[in-house]
Amino acid sequence: MTQHAAGAAVPKRYNPRLEMYKGIWRRLRKNKSAVIGGGIVIFFILLAIFGPMLTPIDPNATDITNKNQPPSADHWFGTDNYGRDMFTRIIHGAKLTLIVGFLSVMIGGVVGVIFGIVAGYYGGWVDTIIMRIMDVLLAFPGILLALAIVSVLGGSLTNMIIAIGIFSVPAFARIVRGSALSVRKLEYIDAMKALGASDLRIIFKHILPNVTSPIIVQATLRIATAVLTASGLSFLGLGAQPPAPEWGAMLSAGRTFMHDSPHMVLIPGIMIVIVVLAFNIFGDGLRDALDPKMNK
């Protein structure tokens, strides 16, 4: 009997977390548009990391004799009004654009998640004060709030990241608060309190893991908004300053020559549209994949 048991195949141990990830991947893979969007996002991330290795040209190197040249074999995306290679500047600009998008959303996400969890978990006057502050921030359109903050702090890449991060805080706070309110009413949270668990342990060990999915989805969608806002601020001269190869700044510089050299406007504009659209499509697909109601 013992030998038979030893020779029998040992059943694989069920791992609920692994099965959950597999289910998310299966649902995400079925969404073709989300897969395409995710592929484009990964492409631009890799381009931002390894792209500068593809071209030895300095993105700020000028060549007045070749200014405003259309796309050609020597300059795939043409040159700008200073003779700078547009292809090189687009590649280096991808790094700046994604850095602004990720860092600003990271700042807004961390601060917003803290405010949202504290408001949802404690409730009462704490919830009232925090959410009224969030309501004041939400009363302003995002681009106008970022514009006001950058106007006070001064135009620079760092200040632009801070401004976009600040106007991203309310979106995270409201989503996390709603999830925290529903989770804190569950019976096992009351059981943890009865067992003497501290508030920090309950928040970080039991509430935060349950609100991770909406945070991830919101962060993905928010990066698209951050990229668009950053490009708008740079276009207005309040973001990345020349000669930084930021796509919004390139778009602003090219508008003067858009009739004679339309590539100076079209190429950075198309890059912005592709990145924003990719993050939005991928975020929508990720939201569907992480939705518990779609579990089979």
Provide DSSP, 151-208: HHH-SSHHHHHHHHHHHHHHHHHHHHHHHHHHHTTSHHHHHHHHTT--HHHHIIIIIG
CB atoms within 10 A of CB 34: 21
pLDDT at residue 106 in the model? 94
Is 20 among the domain residues? Answer: no
Q: Could you tell me the two tokens for 118?
A: 């504290």
DSSP states along 53-108 = GG--S-TT---GGGTTPPS-SSSTT-B-TT--BHHHHHHHHHHHHHHHHHHHHHHH
- Residue linked to tokens 């860092």: 103
pLDDT at residue 268 in the model? 93
Domain around 191? 33-48+85-294
Is 159 among the domain residues? Answer: yes
pLDDT at residue 156 in the model? 83
pLDDT at residue 138 in the model? 85
Is 178 among the domain residues? Answer: yes
**Mean pLDDT in residue range 12-39:** 76
Burial of 47 (0-12, 13-18, 19+ CB in 10 A): middle
pLDDT at residue 12 in the model? 58
Model confidence at 120, pLDDT cuts 50, 70, 90, reads confident
Q: Is the dihedral of CA 249, 160, 95, 286 positive or negative?
A: negative
Closest C-alpha to 253, from 33, 129, 112, 82: 82
Closest C-alpha to 47, from 107, 102, 97: 97
Q: Are 197 and 134 in contact (CB under 8 A)?
A: no
Burial of 139 (0-12, 13-18, 19+ CB in 10 A): exposed
Is 239 among the domain residues? Answer: yes
Is 106 among the domain residues? Answer: yes
Is 25 among the domain residues? Answer: no
Is 65 among the domain residues? Answer: no
- Top pLDDT among 1 and 221 is at 221
Q: Are 185 and 207 in contact (CB under 8 A)?
A: no
Helix 32-50 × helix 86-122 angle, to 10°: 120
Is 103 among the domain residues? Answer: yes
Instruction: Tell me the CATH number at 248.
Output: 1.10.3720.10
Indicate the number of domains in the chain: 1
pLDDT at residue 99 in the model? 92
Q: Are 38 and 216 in contact (CB under 8 A)?
A: no
Amino acid at 28: L
Model confidence at 292, pLDDT cuts 50, 70, 90, reads low
Q: Are 249 and 265 in contact (CB under 8 A)?
A: no
- Top pLDDT among 157 and 15 is at 157
Distance CA 190, CA 206 (A): 11
**Mean pLDDT in residue range 67-71:** 88
Distance CA 17, CA 5 (A): 29
pTM of the model: 0.85
